[in-house]
A and B are shown apart, each in its own frame.
Chain A
Amino acid sequence: MRRAQLPLSLVEVAVGTTLILGVALGFALGTPAPDRQEPQLDAYAADTAAVLANDAPRHDGATRLQEVVSSQGAFDRERDALERRVARILPANVLFRVETPHGTVGTPTPRRVTTGVATVPTGYGRVRITVWYA
């Protein structure tokens, strides 16, 4: 019986093409897109920390940053003023969250956004500033 046969090499080329395209597709889709926002966001976070460390305190203490972390009472008193100050330092399209040993101010950080982070050690603990684009 004479059966029509597919040439074996065509079967091979189909299998090989699928294999190679699969690997190439893995490269194309598997590597995440480069993150172009991170250096800028990190710079914004570091700048916020530096500006807060340079501001004169409203009541007492050496700097504004030290004043807000010095005690729970001071933090509660300064919470709103700190939020306003940080909002004024950063551009309008940047949201922020400042975590101190006594509490946090700002917007909760959403998941899966690129953030910039700066951590400042103070005599009362670490202050962590996270910023991201709205």
Chain B
Amino acid sequence: MTAKKPADRRGQTSLPALGVALVLLTIVTGLGVAMADTAIAGADRTPNERRVAAAVADRLVAADGPLTVRENVLNRSRVDAFDRAALERTAPAASEYAVTVSLGGTELARSGTPRGGTRISRVVLVESSERRTLAPDRSSGGAVTLPRRSANATVTVDPPPGTTVWAVRANDRTVLYNRSGLNGTFDVSLNPYETTRLRFQHAGPLSPGNATVGYDATRATKATLVVTVDA
């Protein structure tokens, strides 16, 4: 036997090549898993900052929030009284994150100093009310129409001698009634969803000074409430 058998000359997997292959495969697997991990972490729909910002903003404009009278309607005096303690009471997350609340560019409260961070803006109405009084005049037949819708009004009746005011009607509803005559100041509740016309039913002359109606004239202005959160 001089010549080698063909079986001995077959291409064989060499050990160094196997080692290199294993190392390469391991590196690639590691890289692949790292890439997948990053991709999944990046796809997290609600990262904490954004979640906290949205929740704090939601809480501030909710109907039972610390600033609001109704949903999305803020009360001016409550807005003025808002501070850091109120913010942390409303949104406990504010003590862990740096949160700033500002309304129309003016900062209301802050906990910490956010650098950059995530912002959520909400469109709100800021309502401020002012007490106004009206008196019925003779041309309107002893009636007075409130120019703005209001949930309540204060009626003051001070009739001159010889005059009796026995009822006050709001649209078709009797809100005050006393057969022997009304005299004094009364709070009446009205329907805020309709325009109210108050009518005094009286016997005898009634001059404008003898009956007055006080009501809250509310003025709502649009503003933007911005909540900034930095983790």
Contact = CB atoms under 8 A, between A and B. Distances in A.
B43 A56 contact: no
B71 A50 contact: yes
A47 B18 CA distance: 65
B51 to A, nearest CB: 8
Interface stretch (B77-85, B93-101, B117-125, B182-190): B117-125
A43 B54 contact: yes
Contacts of B58: 43
B123 A9 contact: no
B18 A17 contact: no
A27 B36 contact: yes
Q: How large is the interface on A (under 10, 10 to 19, 20 to 34, 35 or more residues)?
A: 35 or more
Nearest to A66: B193
A44 B35 CA distance: 35
Given A34-B45, A51-B125, A7 B11 contact: yes
Contact of B123 (A16, A23, A89): A89
A52 B32 CA distance: 51
A23 B32 contact: yes
A51 B72 contact: yes
Nearest to A9: B21
Interface string B86-129: 00000000000000000000000000000000001111110000
B22 to A, nearest CB: 8
Given A36-B50, A54-B72, A24 B220 contact: no
A20 B225 CA distance: 49
Interface in B1-55: 9-11, 13-14, 17-18, 20-22, 24-25, 28-29, 31-33, 35-36, 38-40, 42-47, 50, 53-54
B70 interface: yes
Interface residues of B, number: 51
A63 B123 contact: no
Contacts of B224: 91
A27 B22 CA distance: 23
Interface string A7-24: 111101100110011011
Contacts of B72: 47, 50-51, 54
A62 B44 CA distance: 43
A47 B14 CA distance: 71
Given A31-B42, A43-B122, 17 more contacts: A3-B11, A5-B11, A13-B20, A13-B24, A17-B25, A24-B31, A24-B35, A24-B36, A25-B35, A27-B35, A28-B36, A34-B43, A36-B50, A51-B124, A54-B125, A63-B193, A90-B123
19 contacts: A9-B13, A10-B20, A13-B21, A13-B25, A17-B24, A20-B25, A20-B28, A31-B39, A33-B42, A34-B42, A40-B120, A47-B72, A51-B72, A51-B124, A51-B125, A54-B125, A56-B148, A91-B121, A91-B224
